[in-house]
Structures are given as C-alpha cells and as structure tokens.
Structure 1
Amino acid sequence: MKDRYAVIGNPIAHSRSPAIHARFAEATGQDIVYERLLAPVDGFAQVALRFRDEGGRGLNVTLPFKLDAFALAGLRSARAQAAGAVNLLAFDGDRIYGDNTDGAGLVRDIEVRLALPLAGRSVMLLGAGGAARGVIRPLLDAGASRVAIANRGAGRARELAADVDDARVVGGGFDEIDAMLGQGGAVDLLVNATSTGLGGEALPVPGARFAEARLAYDMVYAARPTAFMAQASAAGCPRVSDGLGMLVEQAAESFLVWRGTRPDTEPVYRALRAELAAEAAR
C-alpha cells in the first residue's frame, strides 16, 4: 500500500503540489500517492485528523490553515516555533510533528538558483503577516545583516520585529523605510510578502530603493510578471523574480522531512516554468 500525503487548504484546486511531489517521487523511486484536500475554513483539524486516521503520513498546509496546523502539532521544529506557523505535518501514530519549510525554500531559491548570497545583505521585507514571519529567521540564519519590515500598519511591523527579538530586525510603516535603513543605508534585496503580488496595486516603496537593490523577489508566482515585479523593473531594479522557485524548494524540503531524501529540484522547476509560459501564451 502506498504511503499517502496531501496538501490541505481552502481553496486548493489550483495547487501544483500534487504534480511537484509526483515528479519528486518518480525521480527518487519513492512509492507514494499525493492528493489535494479541501477543508472548511472552520474544519481544518477534523479533516487533518481524519486523513491521519485513514493512514495518511503527512500534509502540506497552505492558506488559511498554517496557524491551525501550528496549534494541532504536538511537537514542532525550531523553525516552526520561530515562524509561529506550520506548513508541514508529519504523522507517526498519535505523534503530530509540525515544521515550516517556507523560509528554507526562499533562502535556497535566492542563494542557489538566483546565485545571490545573503551573508552581509540588507533585506527589505514588505508585509508583516504570516508569510513574512515564516522567512525572517531563515534570512537571519543565512547571514542577512539587516531585515527591515515595512507594512501599511506600522504597529504590526514593529510587533513582528519585537517578536523576533534580534538587533538586526526593525519594523515600521512604508513611510519609515528610509529611517529604518539609517543614514546612507541601502537595500540589497526586496522581498514582497504581501498579497498585492497578484493584483494591480503598487506598493508605496520609494523608487530609489528598487533601483539600488540587487534583486526584487515576489513570494507569489504567476504565468506573467506580477504587479510587484513590474513595479520593480519600471523603477530600475536590475533583476526581478517570482516565487515559483520558493514553491519548488519548500516542497523539496518537505519531501526530505517525510522521506529522508532531497530530490533534485531543477527539472521540476523547469517543467513548471514551461507550463506557466505556455499558459501565458494562450
């Protein structure tokens, strides 16, 4: 009988995770089945536990359930604790283990695929929600010299910075970006962790910050450049990227936790990028 895994969320029909993990399983010779699970917004725990009780081995958790998964996990990894959210559950009898692979996926995509070492880099993180929270500690662990969190609600950004409790992390409103960076401070990497990436709304970031950055990175992905990527390019940023690589890398990290082997991500990334290009051409 094949080991069962799934991605759980609401909505979930759009998820590419089944295709990603099917390719990983084929490449590594792992005999698994990977499904999609739609859970009611108020019924995450019931669906997750039923999946476990029916023999499920693990779940990837997507919006809006990462905090629910954090609460369900009886044992959590250090990176899940730091993120305050869980995007991976592993079941072993009554034991429920929670982990967070988002930050590891982001860092690996930036450092390996995009060849931008993070050691000594100044990072501007846009947004102060769960997506931002999940990547701050991995950015710091990779050697970022500063992580400045900018959010429309300045208080939320300051609270997040205080929660991280690291002198390299500051938070404030978009109108405080220059002050957070300090006299003569510059940005090497801009990371969009807001939900505006798939909409048409521009973020109130000074154009000069885009122009001085080495890379503007949107954590979401789409068939065409996101609004954030277009804004960055128009302002003179020399390089932009969406978050497709992050999606693939965090999935590979999940596969490693579950199966004990880390698949080669490049073939899967190239296949997904080709699929997106085909969609954009229609």
Structure 2
Amino acid sequence: MSQVDQYAVFGSPIKHSKSPRIHKLFAEQTQQAMQYSAELVLAEQFSGAVNAFFAQGGRGLNCTVPLKELAWEYADLRTERAELAKAVNTLAFQGDGHILGDNTDGIGLVADIQNNHAISLQQKRILILGAGGASRGIILPIMGEVPVSITVVNRTVAKAVTLANEFKHKGAITGCGYADLAGQSFDLILNATSASLSDELPPLAAGLLAEQGSCYDLAYANKATAFVHWGHEQQAIKSLDGLGMLVEQAAEAFYVWRGVRPYTAAVIQMLEAERNLS
C-alpha cells in the first residue's frame, strides 16, 4: 500500500477552516496520496507542535492567524515573497531536511483577481487599505503585474510609510493616511484591514474609486462584507470578497508541496454554491 503523506493547517481559531475540505478536493482531483487536517495550535505551542509534526513524518503545513510571523522565524529557507512579507503561511519539508517557508497569499490574490474575475492589474492605480501582515503578504506579487502605482493607506500613517519604504526598491509605492487620499482616485481598492471581521468599514470617503474601477475584500463571509457593500455603492464594476483567494492560495501551497497544480474553478464554484444556500 502506498504511503499517505500528512499535511495540516495550524492556527487559533481553526474550527471554521475550509482548508481541509479544499485540499481533500485537490488531492482527489490530482490523485495525490495525502491527508490534511486542521489543528488548534496557540502561539506559545507553535514551535513544539511543528517540531513534533515534522518529526512524525509530516510533509507540509499551512499556518494561519496568529502563527504566520512565527512560521517565518521557524523556516530555514524562505522564498523572496516570504522574506519580504515577513510572514509565512506555508512550510514545506525538503529532501535534505530543511524547512522551506513560503507565502502564497499574494499569488492567490493575483490569480483570483486576474484569472477568475478578468481584472487586469497592469497599468492600474491600486489602493491597499491597511498596513498589517495581510498587506505585506500581497504587495510583491501585485508589483510583479506592473501596476502604475500602489498606495498603502493606514490610520497610523507612519506604519503605512514604513511598509511602503520596504518595497520601494521593487516598484512605485507610497504610504499615507486616509486624509491624504483627498482628490485621488484608484482603479482597484483592496481591503486588507481586519474591519470586515467585525462587519465594519475603514474610514473611506466617497469618490475614491475611479470610473470602471473594482473593489476586493481579502476577507470573506457567508454574506457580503461592509466593504463589498461600499464597493457596490461606489458603482464598482466588480465588488468581490476573498473566497476565491482562499482557494487560489491553497492551490499554490499544494503546488509547493506536490509539484502539481490543481484546477481551482470547480472548487470555488462548489464553495460559492454552498455559501449561497446558507
């Protein structure tokens, strides 16, 4: 009998995670002998839990809140996108015993926006709301699509400026406060704040979205988030949430581990249908 490789997602909370379902569907689709579980792991338990997982033959881990920075520190090797993000959501056991850390969030976002929703990032003016870990994880992959500019806005202006400065060697990016956005407009506005988790909205003025512009919330829920509603009110061509990003970042992690790219559209459609029913 062929060996079944073990994978898991660690986080707290973790009960709500769709990752085991997504990876089970990917494994069936690509005929990979693997199992994937969700484990409640607190920050103070992280190092010991990861050591034990890999010591028992585990092949790869996803790490979610609040463990991504700890996973970054744990990794022996890091991809460039993980290095700049200072956060890791994917750990992969290497043949020589090293642990590779990667961040697949940004590539998942770009894939969903461009491939699934036909929104080009090239030559676009992009506004990112928030200067935390979620923003940090998506900037480099967005820059790879050659937008005209990226603006990072945050309530604490210094945090936005500091984050932008860390990526300036890669492309046109600036950081500012919400008041500094007056008179500007953007082709794509990305909500990378945690406001949607409490159904709140960042302090956005009307008129920030350019004509024919789109909005995208990195968060997702069973109903439209406050930011998705705001996008519709601003006449966005498309106002979307991050369910597709969830599937696409999982597909990238699956590729890092297995060297096989799963087909994401069917999985996204299934999750969307289930969400609509609920």
TM over 0.5: yes
Q: Which residue of structure 2 aligns with residue 267 of structure 1?
A: 266
C-alpha deviations, 1:136-161, integer Å up to 9, x for none? 11111111111100111111000000
C-alpha contact 1:189 1:213 (8 A) present in aligned 2: no
CA distance in 2, matches of 1:198, 1:151: 17
Question: What is the rounded CA distance, in whole Å, between the counterparts of 2:161 and 2:42 in structure 1?
Answer: 32
Residue in structure 2 matched with residue 3 of structure 1 by the alignment: 5
User: How is 1:43-58 mapped onto 2 (pairs within 5 angstroms)?
Assistant: 43-58=45-60
What is the Cα deviation at residue 199 of structure 1? Answer: 2.2
Q: Which residue of 1 aligns with 2:163?
A: 160
CA drift of 1:127 comes to: 0.3
Question: 1:211 Cα shift?
Answer: 5.5
* Paired residues of 1:126 and 1:149 also in contact (CA < 8 A): yes
**Displacement of 1:48 after TM fit?**
1.1
- Inter-CA distance 210–158: structure 2 relative to 1 (3 Å threshold): same
Aligned to 2:180: 176
The one-letter code sitting in structure 2 at the alignment partner of 1:171 is G
1:194 aligns with 2:218: no
C-alpha distance in structure 2 between counterparts of 1:49 and 1:172, whole Å? 41
5+ unaligned residues in a row in structure 2: which ranges?
none
1: CA distance between counterparts of 2:165 and 2:139? 12
Q: How far has the Cα of 1:207 moved from its partner? A: 1.1
Distance 1:142 1:248 in 2: 20
**Partner Cα separation in structure 2 for residue 237 and residue 72 of structure 1:** 41
Q: Kindly provide the amino acid, as one letter, of the partner of residue 12 in structure 1.
A: I
Post-superposition shift, 1:213?
5.5
* Cα deviation code 1:159-213 (max 9, x no counterpart): 000111245100011111137x5xxxx3110000000113232221121013635
Q: Match of 1:112, as an amino acid?
A: N
Which runs of no fewer than 5 residues in structure 1 stay unpaired?
Answer: none
Matched, 1:144 2:147: yes
Q: In the alignment, what sits opposite 1:87? A: 89
* Distance across 1 between alignment mates of 2:211 and 2:75: 42
8 Å CA contact retained: 1:126, 1:150: yes
Match of 2:19 in 1: 17
More deviation, 129-138/231-240:
231-240
Letter in 2 for 1:204: P
1:214 aligns with: 213
Q: How many aligned residue pairs are there? A: 274
Matched residue of 1:272: which SS?
helix
Q: Is the 8 A contact 1:198 1:227 kept in 2?
A: no
Q: What is the CA deviation profile of residues 40-95 of structure 1, one whole-angstrom value per residue up to 9, with x for unaligned ones?
A: 22121111111111111000111111100000001001111121111100113631
Amino acid at match of 2:273: A
Note the aligned Cα RMSD (angstroms).
1.3
Offset at 1:231? 1.6
User: Structure 1 residues 76-85 or 241-250, which shifts more?
Assistant: 76-85
Normalising by structure 1, we get a TM-score of 0.94
1:57-76 alignment, distance < 5 Å: 57-76=59-78
- Seen in structure 2, the aligned counterparts of structure 1 residues 58 and 87 have a Cα distance that, compared at 3 Å, is same
Code of the residue aligned with 1:177 in structure 2: it is: L
**In 1: Cα distance, 2:36 partner to 2:165 partner:** 38
1:106 and 2:109 are equivalent in the alignment: yes
Contact 1:199 1:227 in 2 (8 A): no
For the residues of structure 2 that align with 1:124 and 1:140, how far apart are their CA atoms? 12
Aligned-partner SS, 1:34: strand
Residue 275 of structure 1 and its aligned partner are, at CA, apart by: 1.3
In the alignment, the residues of structure 1 paired with residue 103 and residue 212 of structure 2 have an alpha-carbon distance, to the nearest angstrom, of: 28
User: What is the alpha-carbon distance in structure 2 between the residues aligned to residue 216 and residue 55 of structure 1?
Assistant: 42
